[in-house]
Amino acid sequence: MNLNDLNVQKRIRSGDIREFESLFLKYYEPLCRHADKILNDMDTAEDLVQEFFYRFWKDRKSFNLKFSLNAYLYQAVRNNALHYLDHLAVRKNYAAMVLGEFREVMPANVQTDLDMDELNQAVNSTLGQMPERCSRVFRMNRFEGKKYREIAEILSVSEKTVEADISKALKMFRESLRDYISEKK
């Protein structure tokens, strides 16, 4: 790490907005291009870099540079881009799971015509109507991929309670999607 990086770190940690703006202007475009190489989506890359700089400024007091500033910025943006892609994959798997689990509820013509955004709205609405623990258990299992045992340990409940909450959530989904589909006819 060079002396200039240490000075930049010190000024930003002390709240020097001009130093932060200078850093932002110097690295924003190159970091966007770096993220775009990973994401193949410049709009998302720009959003990701803006979010990174927001968090960087917000958490500046805990910022502790161990290597070069340049390496830190590029590695952080790379990690954020990869995390975003992982999250996108989880969302796609979730959408496929929702369609798979509720296929028996949906008539064949709806299965092909149903817009995924509308389905996601129906799912989110149903999650919002669930009791808090039931919704949390379902999200941890289906969105985060946690096993029943892990969820039980985290929430300090039994595995049977987790299993019951998942069953309750699935029943609510079947009922709410059945209503949703009947409204579409």
Report how far apart the first and last C-alpha atoms of the chain are (Å, whole number): 65
Residue that is written with structure tokens 């590695």 in the block: 75
Does the domain at 3-85 match CATH 2.60.40.10? Answer given as no
**Per-residue pLDDT at 67:** 78
183 has pLDDT over 90 = no
Token pair of 131, please?
């009791």
32 has pLDDT over 90 = yes
Spell out the domain ranges in the chain. 3-85, 102-184
Predicted structure pTM score: 0.51
Q: Which fold, 102-184?
A: Arc Repressor Mutant, subunit A (1.10.10)
Q: Give the phi and the psi of residue 113 in degrees, each rounded to 5.
A: -95, -15
**Per-residue pLDDT at 184:** 44
CA 51 vs CA 59, 91, 134, 151: distances in Å: 12, 20, 31, 30
Residue of higher predicted confidence among 32 and 61: 32
180 has pLDDT over 80 = no
